[in-house]
Amino acid sequence: MSLVLHDYELDSDSYKVRLLLSALGLPYAKVAVNVHPGHEQRSPAYLRLNPLGSLPILVDGETTLRDSGAILCYLARLHDKEGQWLPADPVRFGEVMMWLFFAGADLAPATLARLHHMLEVPADAEAVGAASRRAFRIMDDHMTKRELEGFAWFVGDQATLADIALFPAIALSRDFGIDHDEYPALRRWMRRVRTIPGFITMPGIPDYH
């Protein structure tokens, strides 16, 4: 089967999938969707692929998946034979899923805040900014305690889907006016994420040279 990712370069959810595909070393075809200014993801053709009108969308033969969290799990289950990214152990699995749902729900305001700042998507800037800071504080508290117990990643002792799903919102937070000053544990963790083999950047996440 050949993988096809319907993708938008500036979309942080699409970036999560590109990041995992790169870490897994999987070849895939990328279809660039004209989100801005074309709103192509809400065209009739795209609504047939995903009635929510959102990206990314992964097509793998007869299978069509939406939601970056679901796509990450699918790719990990199918192609990560060692179970690093989505551990089989029930406790580790539960913890990874907890952070995946956090990324989809509690970090949604951060995604919206960025789209509001960059592409003028309507939002209550103050409310989404405050919700973003609450979520980042929860992440920093978690990684602070993890580091004090000798761990480097959100779950377990190696990088998982949790790290991939949580990375873009904080790494891109300067796009919507939230600096990293208050999140020292996340600053160190973000440097670790950059060392994952196959790590790639996206616009807004600088490539150190």
User: Which residues between 163 and 192 bind another protein (CB under 8 A)?
Assistant: 174, 179-182, 184-185, 187-188, 191
Which residue lies nearer to another protein by CB, 62 or 179? 179
Instruction: Based on the shown chain and the rule CB under 8 A, indicate whether residue 95 belongs to the binding site for another protein.
Output: no
Q: Does 126 bind another protein (CB under 8 A)?
A: no
State yes or no: residue 79 binds another protein (CB under 8 A).
no
Q: Tell me if 84 contacts another protein by CB under 8 A.
A: no
149 binds another protein (CB under 8 A): yes
Binding mask 127-146 for another protein (x = CB under 8 A): ----------x---x--xx-
Q: Judged by CB, which is closer to another protein: 42, or 188? A: 188
Does 157 bind another protein (CB under 8 A)? Our answer is no
Please, which of residues 53-72 interact with another protein by CB under 8 A?
A: none
Contact with another protein (CB under 8 A) among 2, 45, 148, 195: 148
Q: At what angle do helices 90-105 and 68-79 cross, to 10 degrees?
A: 150
Residues lying near another protein in the complex (CB under 8 A) are found at 137, 141, 144-145, 148-149, 174, 179-182, 184-185, 187-188, 191, 206, 208-209
